[in-house]
Amino acid sequence: MKLDLFNRVPLKNACDVIAAPVREALEYEVRVFEPGKEHQTIYQGASDEVDKAGDDLYNHTVMKIPRQDMALMANKSWPIKDEPGYYLGLFDVFHQLHCLDSIRRTLHKDYYGVGEHQNYDMLEPKHAFHWVEYIRQALMCNPDVSMNAWNWYDDLKGVRGSSHQAHTCVNFSKLQE
């Protein structure tokens, strides 16, 4: 089945556009999200350590795909010049993470706009529009339908949605392998 980017095509199986070898390798686990606003994570802020943590999520992710696996995929890729029978591949989640990390860096122009971290091109608003739009589409394409529960907070004398919730997640470390 050929997918047209401008027309929605109903799929029999939600994984029709993913090659079977990838689908079979996915493992799932229950994870509780950290809210991020109350607990600083290694992925927040601006520092060499934060940059390394972000880079480690997506920097080693281009792979070579054998012809027989590429034939199963809806999205075709460029052949590797010096390796006949193999094609370049990248799981889109790694591009999405790059976009998110780039937004983080843009929020810290005071750090990334000077000295050794200077990269004016990446701080341009035109890139930020792409990043936000791409992440929006990814979230709508693969919506997390975990229930966001509401909790009572004495200090607020009211209820508020809680970010500290359990989710069914792909085991990301296994995906990186």
Low-confidence ranges of the chain (pLDDT < 50): 1-15
pTM of the model: 0.78
CB atoms within 10 A of CB 93: 17
* Cα dihedral 26, 27, 30, 33 sign: negative
Please write the tens of the pLDDT for every residue from 46-64: 999 999 999 999 887 788 8
Residue 140: per-residue pLDDT: 96
CB atoms within 10 A of CB 122: 15
Place of tokens 């809680």: 162
Please write the tens of the pLDDT for every residue from 136-153: 999 999 899 998 888 898
| Tokens (6 digits) for 5 | 């980017």
Place of tokens 């790694």: 94
Residue 148: per-residue pLDDT: 86
Query: 166: which strand partners?
Result: 32
Pairwise CA distance, residues 149 & 161, whole Å: 6
